[in-house]
Amino acid sequence: MTATATRVLVLNSGSSSVKYQLLDMKPDPVGGSTAGTRLAVGLVERIGEETSRLAHTPLATGGDKRETEGPIADHEAALKAVAAELSADGLGLDSPQLAAIGHRVVHGGLKFTAPTVIDDAVLKEIERLVPVAPLHNPANITGIRTAQALRPDLPQVAVFDTAFHTTMPEYAARYAIDVETADAHRIRRYGFHGTSHAYVSRKTAELLGKDPSEVNVIVLHLGNGASASAVAGGRCVDTSMGLTPLEGLVMGTRSGDIDPAVTFHLKRVAGMSEDDVDVLLNKKSGLVGLCGDNDMREIRRRIDEGDERARLAFDIYIHRLKKYIGAYTAVLGRVDAVAFTAGVGENAAPVRAAAVAGLEEMGLAVDADLNAVRSGEPRLISPEYARVAVAVVPTDEELEIAQQTYALVNA
């Protein structure tokens, strides 16, 4: 890597999509540290279909978003199309300014506790984890292989969704099932969204003017997927997702916590197959299962019109959230802040208000005026008197991946 190589390409490869961002990590000449400047962002979706779509925004040149539609056969073709878009803006992947490519990898198991430069052994280990992340790791591997073929000389770094949660104590990570069976099949609670929980908990400490080591934070990542984490002094001590991202909070289409006997019942009594149950719990449950919508804006609109099913779905969502706030308050002993993040957490003021309503005895309250403010900046929404700070902290997983990648290749 040359001294001028300060750019990082972040790739988030899904089964039929690739999200990407090119960031410049050049240190700020005044402050010394880098906030990371976004040069380009984009998305390729519906890979493998006739109607693939590439949307590319060249932020560096201030150009407009460019959208192209047409078949993109596979991830290799997708990445080549992205490379061509970047080249058109003078930001080509062949540039000596590109320092590394950072990949989001969903499952890192127990082995990967930190970002890791990818070599054959690392790739093999990510492959070994496919049985515990069948939907995600194969796509991540394809993304890595494709990027390696494009720039074999460049460091490729894996940043794992699970890494931040590897500090969970054994009593929080282990399910209370037969130990031999669990260990033989690597069944334990891994947790996900770790990059977001790491970023948001650190940003929350910053917002409070403290070092992360000094504060205990409950992070509520409420997107389409949703998870909570308890972070003590910068280290994760519990999180709501488990072996897979199905456990925990009510999500857009996932049930979250459920009695596992429901699955036996669905098979034995309702005659459903293994795959039917999988699809039911992952895709047809949560908010969508409860009321037919998973977009919180639509649910709030329906509630305003007096829709009872939307109301009940909202109440179930909030009830689960409250239970986790209570549980993690007990886990942490002392809570300095509760931070809301991701699509719902950052935008849905009624969710934030309802989640802490009635929790004044626990030191939690939301100021209605502060809660109503719309902003892309981290901010406090609790009243002065509240013992626990309630914050809205926009997440930025791509920036976190770029920072971790850049730090690693410069170490």
Residue positions forming the annotated binding site: 12, 19, 104, 221-225, 295-297, 343-347, 397
Residue at 286: amino acid letter: G
161, 238, 293, 396: the catalytic one is 161
Instruction: Indicate the SS3 state at residue 336.
Output: coil
Backbone phi, psi, residue 399, to 5°: -65, -45
Backbone phi, psi, residue 73, to 5°: -65, -45
Give yes or no for a contact between 144 and 123, defined as CB atoms under 8 angstroms apart.
yes
- Provide the token pair at 53: 């779509």
320-358 b/e (C-beta count within 10 Å ≥ 16 → b) = bbbebbeebbebbeebbbbbbbbbbbbbbbbbbbbbbee
Minimum CB separation of residue 12 from ligand ADP in Å reads: 10
Give yes or no for a contact between 227 and 197, defined as CB atoms under 8 angstroms apart.
yes
State the residues that interact with ligand ADP by CB under 6 A. 223-225, 252, 294-297, 342-344, 347-348
Q: How many CB atoms lie within 10 A of CB 73?
A: 11
Minimum CB separation of residue 409 from ligand ADP in Å reads: 26
161 part of the active site: yes
- Provide the token pair at 361: 């005895």
Backbone phi, psi, residue 103, to 5°: -110, 135
Minimum CB separation of residue 74 from ligand ADP in Å reads: 23
74-113 b/e (C-beta count within 10 Å ≥ 16 → b) = ebbbbbbbbbebbeebebebeeeebbbbbbbbbbbbeebe
Q: List beta partners, residue 40.
A: 22
Place of tokens 């988030």: 12
Backbone phi, psi, residue 161, to 5°: -65, -25
Instruction: Indicate the SS3 state at residue 229.
Output: strand
Give yes or no for a contact between 25 and 53, defined as CB atoms under 8 angstroms apart.
no
Angle, alpha carbons 408-38-62 (nearest 5°): 160
Q: What does the alpha-carbon distance between residue 31 and residue 49 come to, in Å, rounded to a whole number?
A: 46
Closest by CA to 237, choosing from 205, 209, 201, is 201
Catalytically annotated residues: 161
